C-alpha cells in the first residue's frame, strides 16, 4: 500500500504481541536457543487439548493432533485424501478466499451453501443478532446431487462473523453423517467472540461426529501471530488419519521453534491479554456499527465474532467492486467481496482490529468518498 493508504483488509490486528509471547521469544534469544528442537512427536498436542477442554469442555484425543504450517495446508491435505480429483466439497458461501482458491487449484468443485441475511430488509440490531442463516435442506440436496465427500465448516464464519448455534451445527453434522462426509471444521476465530456468542467445537457434538471431523486452528487470530506459520489439525476421522500418516513427514514440513514457543506461551499464559483484546474488539465493533450509519447505502450485520466486518455496499450504487472505489477514492484498502465467491459481489471486508482513532479515520474517509455521490 502507498503511504497514504490505510490498510484495513488482511486479517491481522494492529496490536503488538501479548507479553507472554514476547517474554517467551526473548527468552529463546537470550538462551541462544534456536537450534533443532527435541520435541515429543507433536509439541502442541497437549496444550491444544488442554485448551479445548478448559475453554469449551471438549476433550480431543492427544494422539489425533498433527502439526501443519497453516490452516489452508491442512484443508488442502484433507481434500487430497478425502475427495477425488473432480469431486466436490461443500461449504458456505461467501467464504474465506484461499479455501475457494485451493479447491480451484486442486481441481475440486466447490458446492456453495448460501449464507443469507436472516432479515433482508434490515441490517440487524446490535449484540449478536442472528444476522445470517442458511438452508440445510438445500445444502443436503446439493450434496446428494454432487456427491460431495467433504464439508468445510468455517465457524466462526469469515467473512460474516456468524457464530453457528449448536442446532445449526447439528443440522450440518446430520447431513455429513447421512452422506458419509469428512468434515473440516475451521475454528480459527473461536476465541474472539462478542457479547453472548458461545463457540461449540464441531467435534464436541458427539462421538460419531468427532470420528468424521478434522478440526483446524492455531493461535494466529486470537494472538495476532500470523507470521509464525504454526497450526494444528485434530484428525478425528480414522480413515483420513491413517492416510495422513502414510504421507512422508516432509509433505508437511516441520514446525519452527519460535512458532511453537510463542503458541505455547499464548495458550498457556495469554488469557488475561486475550480477554482484554476481546473487550476492545467488541467496543470497536459497536463503534463501527454505530458509525456505519454515516455511510449512505452501506449496511452491516454486526459480527458475533472476530474483527472483520462484512460491509454490504449494494445500496451505494458502486457496483460489484466497492473495494476498488474505496481504495481509489478514500485511500482505504478493504478486501473485495467478490473474492469470497457467490454472494460476495457488492460487498467488502473491513478489518476493525485497530484503535478508535484509526477506525474513525477509516470511516471518515469512506464517508467523504461517498459524499459527492449524494444528491
Q: What is the 3-state secondary structure (H, E, C) of 13-32?
A: CCCCCCHHHHHHHHHHHHHC
**Is residue 300 a contact residue for ligand PLP (CB under 6 A)?**
no
Complete DSSP assignment for 324-344: HHIIIII-EE-EEGGGG-TT-
Restricted to residues 191-230, the positions that interact with ligand PLP (CB under 6 A) are 218, 220, 226
**Is residue 154 a contact residue for ligand PLP (CB under 6 A)?**
yes
Give the pairing type, strands 182-186 and 213-218.
Answer: parallel
**Dist. CA 13–CA 44, nearest whole Å:** 24
**Which one of 57-65, 67-75, 236-244, 320-328 is the stretch in contact with ligand PLP (CB under 6 A)?**
67-75
**Which one of 69-77, 172-180, 255-263, 336-344 is the stretch in contact with ligand PLP (CB under 6 A)?**
69-77
- 67 bridge partner residues: 232
Residue with cell 449512505: 296
- Residues 225-254, mask of contacts with ligand PLP (x by CB under 6 A): -x----x-----------------------
Min. distance of Cβ 51 from ligand PLP in angstroms? 17
**Four-CA torsion 42, 306, 18, 292, nearest 10 degrees:** 160
Residue 184 or 318 with smaller CB distance to ligand PLP: 184
Pinpoint the alpha helices (H) of 195-293: 207-210, 238-246, 257-269, 271-291
Residue 24 or 188 with smaller CB distance to ligand PLP: 188
Q: Which of 18, 60, 67, 70 binds ligand PLP (CB under 6 A)?
A: 70
What are the backbone angles phi and psi of residue 74, rounded to the nearest 5°?
Answer: -60, -45
Residue 184 or 370 with smaller CB distance to ligand PLP: 184
Min. distance of Cβ 2 from ligand PLP in angstroms? 23
**Dist. CA 28–CA 32, nearest whole Å:** 6
Min. distance of Cβ 6 from ligand PLP in angstroms? 19
Q: 3-class SS at 118? A: coil
Q: State the CB neighbour count (10 A cutoff) for residue 314.
A: 17
Residue 215 or 218 with smaller CB distance to ligand PLP: 218
Tell me, by CB under 6 A, how many residues bind ligand PLP: 13
**Is residue 93 a contact residue for ligand PLP (CB under 6 A)?**
no
**Is residue 11 a contact residue for ligand PLP (CB under 6 A)?**
yes
Residue 10 or 368 with smaller CB distance to ligand PLP: 10
**Dist. CA 291–CA 278, nearest whole Å:** 20
**Is residue 274 a contact residue for ligand PLP (CB under 6 A)?**
no
Q: State the CB neighbour count (10 A cutoff) for residue 175.
A: 22
Q: State the CB neighbour count (10 A cutoff) for residue 368.
A: 12
**Which one of 70-78, 131-139, 274-282, 291-299 is the stretch in contact with ligand PLP (CB under 6 A)?**
70-78
**Is residue 158 a contact residue for ligand PLP (CB under 6 A)?**
yes
Residues 6 or more apart whose CB falls under 8 angstroms from that of 28 comprise: 34, 257, 258, 261
Min. distance of Cβ 368 from ligand PLP in angstroms? 29
Min. distance of Cβ 103 from ligand PLP in angstroms? 14
Task: Tell me the residue nearest to ligand PLP as measured from the CB.
Answer: 70
Restricted to residues 308-367, the positions that interact with ligand PLP (CB under 6 A) are none
Helix, strand, coil in percent for the chain, rounding step 5: 45, 15, 40
**Dist. CA 237–CA 282, nearest whole Å:** 35
**Is residue 262 a contact residue for ligand PLP (CB under 6 A)?**
no
Min. distance of Cβ 154 from ligand PLP in angstroms? 5
**Is residue 96 a contact residue for ligand PLP (CB under 6 A)?**
yes
Residues contributing to the site for ligand PLP (CB under 6 A): 11, 70-72, 96, 154, 158, 186, 188, 218, 220, 226, 231
Amino acid at each position: 500500500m502507498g503511504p497514504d493508504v490505510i490498510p484495513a483488509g488482511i486479517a491481522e490486528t494492529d496490536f503488538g504481541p501479548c507479553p507472554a509471547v514476547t517474554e517467551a521469544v526473548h527468552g529463546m534469544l537470550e538462551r541462544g536457543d534456536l537450534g533443532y528442537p527435541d520435541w515429543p512427536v507433536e509439541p502442541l498436542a497437549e496444550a491444544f487439548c488442554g485448551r479445548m477442554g478448559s475453554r469449551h469442555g471438549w476433550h480431543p484425543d492427544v494422539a489425533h493432533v498433527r502439526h501443519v504450517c497453516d490452516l489452508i495446508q491442512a484443508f488442502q491435505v484433507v481434500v487430497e485424501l478425502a475427495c477425488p480429483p473432480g469431486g466436490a466439497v461443500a461449504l458456505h458461501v461467501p467464504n474465506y478466499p484461499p479455501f475457494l482458491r485451493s479447491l480451484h487449484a486442486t481441481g475440486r468443485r466447490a458446492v456453495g451453501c448460501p449464507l443469507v441475511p436472516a432479515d433482508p430488509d434490515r441490517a440487524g440490531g446490535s449484540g449478536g443478532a442472528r444476522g445470517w442463516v442458511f438452508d440445510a435442506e438445500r445444502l443436503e440436496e446439493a450434496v446428494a446431487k454432487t456427491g460431495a465427500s467433504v464439508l468445510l465448516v468455517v465457524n466462526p464464519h469469515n467473512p460474516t462473523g456468524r457464530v453457528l448455534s449448536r442446532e445449526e451445527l447439528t443440522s450440518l453434522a446430520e447431513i455429513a453423517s447421512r452422506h458419509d462426509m469428512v468434515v473440516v471444521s475451521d475454528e480459527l476465530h473461536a476465541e474472539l467472540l462478542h457479547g453472548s456468542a458461545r463457540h461449540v467445537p464441531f467435534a464436541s457434538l458427539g462421538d460419531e461426529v468427532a470420528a468424521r471431523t478434522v478440526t483446524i486452528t492455531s493461535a494466529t487470530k486470537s494472538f495476532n501471530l500470523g507470521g509464525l506459520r504454526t497450526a494444528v489439525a485434530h484428525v478425528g476421522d480414522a480413515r483420513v488419519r491413517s492416510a495422513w500418516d502414510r504421507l512422508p513427514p516432509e509433505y508437511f514440513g516441520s514446525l519452527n521453534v519460535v512458532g511453537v514457543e510463542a503458541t505455547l506461551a499464548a495458550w498457556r499464559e495469554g488469557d488475561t491479554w486475550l480477554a482484554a483484546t476481546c473487550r476492545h474488539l467488541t467496543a470497536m465493533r459497536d463503534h463501527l456499527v454505530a458509525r456505519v450509519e454515516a455511510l449512505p447505502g452501506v449496511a452491516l450485520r454486526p459480527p458475533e465474532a472476530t474483527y472483520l466486518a462484512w460491509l454490504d455496499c449494494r445500496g451505494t450504487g458502486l457496483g460489484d467492486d466497492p473495494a476498488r472505489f474505496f481504495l481509489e477514492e478514500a485511500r482505504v484498502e478493504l478486501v473485495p467481496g467478490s473474492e469470497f465467491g457467490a454472494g460476495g459481489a457488492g460487498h467488502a471486508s473491513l478489518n476493525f482490529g485497530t484503535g478508535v482513532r484509526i477506525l474513525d479515520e477509516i470511516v471518515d474517509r469512506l464517508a467523504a468518498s461517498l459524499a459527492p455521490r449524494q444528491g
